[in-house]
Amino acid sequence: MTETPPLNVPSSNQSENKSNSAICPDLNDWWEIVYYIVPKYIDTICIIGMLGNIFVLFTYSLHKGPLKIAEIYLMNLAVADLIFLTCLPFWAENIRNEFNWPFGNFLCRSTSASISLNMYTSIYLLVAVSVDRYLTFVHTLNHRGIRSKTMARRICLLTWFFGILLSIPTFMFRTVKHFPLWNITACTLDYPSPSWVPAERLVFNIVGFALPSTAITFLNFSTIHSLQKNARERRALQTKSCKEHSGTKATRLIFAVVLMFLFCWTPYHFFVFLGILYQREVIKGCFWGELLNFGEQFGYTLATTNSCINPVIYVIVGKYFRQKASEVFSQFIPCGCPLSWVSSKEKSSYFNMFPVRSGLT
């Protein structure tokens, strides 16, 4: 019987203190499956996600029409996802190499900090865009000073600064260490004291997920309720303004992005929380240890999916994004060849309103 290394290899102090005297079942065959499948999945996510997010940034950047406030947030979200995706190949190789880190100390620190930056920045950008939708449909008066493009850009800068600040401990304490217990040299968080581990994980859970996801849930449910109420009133009056229709379409896109983020990240944070209980010995034994090892691996793998799924959501759900992309990319397609993912009705309602920048033609 042998012990297998966890996904997030503990610090050297913790591994020595918690080498676990209990003999755990041999799950090497299961880990071989992880080592084979997960890196291939992450590589696939990386390729699709980078192409998709570059496509999003290309569309928003080359379209001459001004960005809406929500699009400013979504553009920053695409940048955060790109930063995250550029780090994934290193971690895919790390898993393929059975958690032996071959890239040195600097890349260990920088890629870990970049992944942390993506997590914090992404969820707080979604809080910001949820607040924007909330102000638009729930408190429609007296918010012009708050809902401006200048304010949106400032909020994005503040969000990036906040994400960088929260990622500094990861950069400081990540290091490459050898673990004789598992005979690996791993990229690990090595805190000055083992008591820092559950504290850091708790901050990660609360600040990085529980608080912002609670805010996102409240804001979006309030917005949905307001939209339903307004829809009933419009049906009663048999009117629907163009502006309201446009806002509803944009809000539908935001809902899809938010729901997919929560779907992808909730399992990982759930297993991180269980890991806190395990470290505090609230739950014990080999069963929980192995469950957490595989659970965090599953949760992290699912979380990586979120960074490649947003461009797909924009194309499927985002009617006005499709129209913008149609205008940008139609110049590269031979005349007479329509873009199949944009209907003729959508084109006629929007096409040629904002031509592509002339310098590109």
Per-residue pLDDT reduced to its tens digit, 93-119: 999 999 999 999 999 999 999 999 999
Tokens of 342: 């944009």
* Interior/surface letters 30-43, b for 16+ CB within 10 angstroms, e for the rest: ebeebeeebbeebe
Q: pLDDT of 224-270, one tens digit each?
A: 888 777 777 766 665 544 444 555 666 777 788 888 989 999 999 99
Radius of gyration of the chain (CA): 23
Q: Which pLDDT does position 236 carry in this prediction?
A: 67
Per DSSP, the chain holds a count of helices (H) and strands (E) of 11, 2
Element (H, E) at 175: strand 174-179
Length of the chain: 361
Q: How far is residue 326 from each of residues 16, 28, 70, 113, 312, measured CA to CA in Å?
A: 58, 50, 19, 36, 15
Give CB contacts under 8 A, 24+ apart, made by 258-264: 258/126, 258/130, 258/216, 258/220, 260/306, 260/309, 260/310, 260/313, 261/122, 261/123, 261/126, 261/306, 262/213, 262/216, 262/217, 264/302, 264/303, 264/305, 264/306, 264/309
Element (H, E) at 177: strand 174-179
Q: Which residue type occupies 299?
A: G
Q: Which pLDDT does position 326 carry in this prediction?
A: 84
Q: Which pLDDT does position 133 carry in this prediction?
A: 85
Whether the predicted pLDDT of 357 surpasses 50: no
Per-residue confidence band for 136, with pLDDT thresholds at 50, 70 and 90: confident
What global pTM score does this model have? 0.81
Q: pLDDT of 52-69, one tens digit each?
A: 999 999 998 888 888 888
Pair 116, 66: CB distance under 8 Å: no
Can you tell me the distance from the alpha carbon of 21 to that of 15, in angstroms, rounded to the nearest whole number? 12
Whether the predicted pLDDT of 83 surpasses 90: yes
Q: pLDDT of 3-57, one tens digit each?
A: 334 445 433 334 444 444 455 666 778 888 899 999 999 999 999 999 999 999 9
Per-residue confidence band for 339, with pLDDT thresholds at 50, 70 and 90: low
Q: Mean per-residue pLDDT for 335-343?
A: 52
- The CATH H-level superfamily of 12-328+337-342 is Rhodopsin 7-helix transmembrane proteins (1.20.1070.10)
In the chain, what are the domain boundaries? 12-328+337-342
Q: Which pLDDT does position 21 carry in this prediction?
A: 41
Whether the predicted pLDDT of 343 surpasses 60: no
Q: Which pLDDT does position 185 carry in this prediction?
A: 94
Can you tell me the distance from the alpha carbon of 146 to that of 261, in angstroms, rounded to the nearest whole number? 25
Q: pLDDT of 138-156, one tens digit each?
A: 876 666 667 789 999 999 9
Q: Which pLDDT does position 360 carry in this prediction?
A: 31
Q: Which pLDDT does position 247 carry in this prediction?
A: 56
Q: Which pLDDT does position 313 carry in this prediction?
A: 86
* Phi, psi for residue 318 in degrees, rounded to 5: -80, 95
Pair 182, 170: CB distance under 8 Å: no
Tokens of 130: 């949820």
Pair 278, 288: CB distance under 8 Å: yes
